[in-house]
């Protein structure tokens, strides 16, 4: 097989692996070969997916550095394929650590660059991200038109549509859940579960279980919620995605607290705290680390650990090492 063909085979195999799971780093042979062959397009392809996988693994600084390197290279090369796809990926990483201002900035940039280069897939993903951003900051009136714009793109563009439709379904489900419309949230979550299962997209299978658990909790069906979270954890054990896992364990802790199971709640919150500690240790930027550790979702884990420890008569222990407290100064 010619080296260029072999490179493409490796890279698209890595793409398929990423689409199904972010459990581990893809092999870097394609990236190395692209560099040796001075194949700028395939090198960007490799950096793109390497950045995404590192983000899913909670290796935040490495992810941002990789995606930043790809963006700089794409600009130098005058690339019009990968450049529009990179800002929304960087925005996603910022949002995962609670930096919603940074996420909004990159997602808006992503929409602009995608429109300038007429790359509908990149525009759709950036719009999905914007919808999530608006939902997080309580601007639902902006989120819904943004999601509807994505559906308009679906009607015009079939390229990789199955993949970003999964993200769209997850975003719409979370949007309606936050607005208290359980029926609509359940509808989108069921679509998400079906699509993710069909395409063996394990990260989104986990997210579907998590959403189903949150919907069940909202309806007071605690046993159902526990079953859904346990199913999510089973998938995560074989295909770890730290950036998602800590939230699943945090939800399990919240659920067990509601079930008056203080000991089991602490165990779940401790699992969340362990993953939080790992993620925080991989954020080199002090400002971003502080944003992550002081985000509402992380503080909930910290506070819950303290409360459950008090209930059990034990001293609370922080879910991240003291060395990180020093680094925040």
Taking the domain 1-15+25-157, which CATH number applies? 1.25.40.10
**Size (the chain), residues:** 329
Q: Has residue 62 got a pLDDT over 70? A: yes
pLDDT averaged over every residue in the chain: 83
Q: How confident is the model at residue 18 (pLDDT cuts 50, 70, 90)?
A: very low
161: which residues sit within 8 A by CB, 6+ positions away? 121, 154
- Token pair 């925040």 is found at 328
CB 180 within 8 A of CB 219: no
Query: Comparing 10 with 118, which gets the higher pLDDT?
Result: 118
Query: Comparing 177 with 17, which gets the higher pLDDT?
Result: 177
User: pLDDT value at position 49?
Assistant: 85
| pLDDT single digits (tens) 250-261 | 999 999 999 999
Q: Has residue 36 got a pLDDT over 70? A: no
Q: Among 51-65, 102-116, 311-325, name the one with the lowest average pLDDT.
A: 311-325
User: pLDDT value at position 156?
Assistant: 79
Q: Among 33-37, 53-57, 114-118, 172-176, name the one with the lowest average pLDDT.
A: 33-37
Q: Has residue 187 got a pLDDT over 80? A: yes
**Where in the chain are the domains?**
1-15+25-157
Q: Has residue 174 got a pLDDT over 80? A: yes
| pLDDT single digits (tens) 213-257 | 999 999 999 999 999 999 999 999 999 999 999 999 999 999 999
Q: What is the pTM of this model?
A: 0.82
């Amino acid at each position: 097989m010619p080296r260029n063909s072999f490179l493409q085979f490796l890279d698209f195999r890595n793409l398929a692996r990423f689409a199904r799971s972010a459990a581990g780093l893809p092999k870097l042979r394609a990236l190395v070969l692209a560099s040796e062959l001075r194949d700028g397009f395939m090198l960007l392809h490799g950096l793109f997916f390497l950045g995404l996988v590192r983000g899913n693994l909670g290796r935040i600084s490495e992810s941002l550095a990789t995606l930043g390197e790809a963006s700089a290279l794409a600009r130098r090369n005058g690339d019009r394929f990968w450049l529009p796809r990179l800002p929304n990926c960087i925005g996603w990483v910022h949002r995962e650590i609670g930096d919603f201002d940074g996420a909004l900035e990159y997602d808006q940039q992503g929409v602009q660059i995608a429109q300038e280069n007429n790359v509908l897939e990149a525009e759709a993903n950036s719009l999905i991200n914007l919808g999530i951003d608006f939902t997080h900051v309580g601007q639902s009136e902006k989120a819904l038109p943004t999601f509807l714009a994505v559906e308009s793109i679906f009607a015009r563009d079939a390229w990789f549509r199955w993949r970003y439709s999964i993200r769209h379904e997850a975003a719409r489900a979370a949007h309606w859940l936050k607005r208290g419309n359980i029926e609509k949230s359940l509808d989108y979550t069921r679509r998400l579960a079906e699509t993710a299962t069909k395409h063996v997209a394990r990260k989104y299978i986990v997210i579907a279980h998590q959403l189903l658990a949150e919907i069940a909790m909202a309806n007071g069906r605690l046993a159902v919620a526990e079953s859904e979270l346990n199913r999510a954890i089973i998938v995560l054990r074989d295909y770890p995605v730290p950036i998602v896992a800590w939230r699943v364990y945090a939800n399990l802790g919240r659920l067990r607290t509601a079930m008056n199971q203080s000991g089991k709640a602490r165990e779940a919150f401790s699992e969340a705290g362990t993953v939080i500690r790992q993620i925080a240790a991989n954020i080199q930027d002090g400002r971003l680390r502080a944003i992550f550790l002081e985000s509402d979702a992380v503080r909930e884990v910290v506070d819950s650990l303290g409360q459950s420890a008090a209930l059990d008569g034990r001293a609370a222990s922080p879910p991240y090492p003291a060395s990180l407290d020093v680094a925040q100064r």
